[in-house]
Structure 1
């Protein structure tokens, strides 16, 4: 989840991006929300906000969704969580080399259900797509996703909000709409490996790093 980190001697933003995200090129994800204009200039003792980016896993030969859920969650019955998060129609078929999103089920937030809420509506609000409701239903052991009791406390798995680009979208406008700050466009660009932030494609799926905990 989102965390705070105090810079120590020898740290660089690239090293921190490698440590927290497994990818040194994601250093702008840390630089932008912390107002760092020169990524080579950070100070020992400086406190940095480390945005949350959903972990990814590259499928290796012989791996299965149930095996991966056992590895990441200690429960192979949670494979529908990975299937839903990655739009996998047949959980028995995953391609070697595919990059899978691994929702966070350990360090999670909580939500108390209010009247009128549905899992589909919560999935749309939290993750950007209503069909991602299994990411919520399975960890909460909800067998009927159409019925959730008012007052029930749900765990809220960690998964970055996603948006499918439509005509007229720009990274600046999306950053303004999602974060209330158009300058966060550079963070979105970095997180999605977009080399030219002025060029995004209709139909492209963008993921938004979390700046606050769930």
Structure 2
């Protein structure tokens, strides 16, 4: 979830990036949406918006998706959530060293289904890909993704919106389209470890940090 944080003595943006994201290089993810031009200057008592970035986990030897689901969610049967979020066709095969996205299922939002909505459409709207519907269906115990009752309240798992780069895309244009502010391009670049924001490649998958709660 997006959080607000009040700066205390000794804080730096690199320390906060390490604390919240496990990666001190993600300073721009915090600096840009907070309008901080000099990352070395934050003041005690200053309130910062901490965007949400989906947690990642690097696969270790002997790990399985069901074991990871048990570890992160307390329920090994939720392994299809991990498989869907990471486009894993065979959940029995994961490579050591692979970086996996771990959707948030704990501190999540809620959505009330309205007429005409499907899990496919919600997955496309929330995450950028209709094929990610199992991320919604499994935590909500929906066995038939083609049928969801109007008025039903769904858990909305936390997972960053993703976009596959097409010809003509630029980070500035994507930032304007997604956030309504082209200057957020630097945040997208940092979150995706893009050294030169003027160079993105067709077919590259980009993840967009959340600036609002689910």
What TM-score does the superposition give when structure 2 sets the normalisation length?
1.00
SS at structure 2 position matched to 1:109? strand
SS of 1:94's partner is coil
Q: Per-residue deviation at 1:105?
A: 0.1
Deviations 1:113-156 (A, max 9, x none): 00000000000000000000000000000000000000000000
CA distance in 1, matches of 2:10, 2:74: 36
Question: 2:204 aligned with 1:204, yes or no?
Answer: yes
Q: Within 2, Cα distance between the matches of 1:56 and 1:86?
A: 11
Matched residue of 1:107: which SS?
A: strand
Distance apart, 1:55 and its partner CA: 0.1
Structure 1 CA distance, aligned partners of 2:74 and 2:50? 26
Distance in 2 (CA, whole Å) between partners of 1:201 and 1:107 is 34
Gaps in structure 2 of 5+ consecutive residues: none
Q: Which portions of structure 1, spanning 4 or more consecutive aligned residues, are displaced by more than 6 angstroms?
A: none
Instruction: Give the alignment's Cα RMSD to 1 decimal.
Output: 0.2
CA positional deviation for 1:110: 0.2
1:177 CA drift (Å): 0.1
Looking at structure 2, the residues matched to 21 and 143 of structure 1 have their Cα atoms a distance apart, in angstroms, of 33
Give 1:68's aligned residue. Answer: 68
Q: CA deviation at 1:49?
A: 0.1
1:128 is matched with: 128
Residue 203 of structure 1, CA deviation: 0.1
Once the two structures are superposed, residues 97-117 of structure 1 have per-residue CA deviations (whole angstroms, 9 ceiling, x without a partner) of 000000000000000000000
The residue that corresponds to 1:93 in the other structure is 93
Cα distance per residue 1:81-109 (max 9 Å; x no partner) = 00000000000000000000000000000
The corresponding residue for 2:79 is 79
d(CA) in 2 for partners of 1:203, 1:187: 20
TM-score by length of 1: 1.00
1:182-201 paired onto structure 2 within 5 Å: 182-201=182-201
- Paired residues, what number? 214
Secondary structure at 1:16 match in 2: helix
Provide the rounded CA distance (Å) in 1 between the counterparts of 2:63 and 2:113.
Answer: 36
